[in-house]
């Protein structure tokens, strides 16, 4: 395992302003898909059924 997300599982509607994030074993850290910025925190992370990950206010 190279990375993890810690938190609580929640159901409900998701905000529309989520940013797609990703992880590559060949590069350190989770990163924004649009800017390649490393992310260490987010208010919320959503894992979609297709395997994609989305974050609210990633920083």
pLDDT tens track for 12-25:
888 999 999 998 88
Which residues constitute the domain of residue 32? 19-56
Angle of CA points 1, 38, 44, to nearest 5°: 80
Number of folded domains that form the chain = 1
Say what the pTM is.
Answer: 0.80
- Mean pLDDT over residues 44-50, rounded? 90
Nearest to 57 by CA among 29, 2, 15: 15
């Amino acid at each position: 395992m190279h990375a993890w997300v810690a938190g609580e599982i929640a159901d409900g509607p998701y905000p529309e302003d989520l940013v797609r994030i990703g992880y590559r074993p060949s590069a350190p850290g989770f990163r924004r898909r649009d800017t390649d910025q490393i992310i260490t925190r987010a208010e919320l992370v959503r894992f979609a059924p297709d395997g994609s990950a989305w974050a609210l206010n990633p920083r």
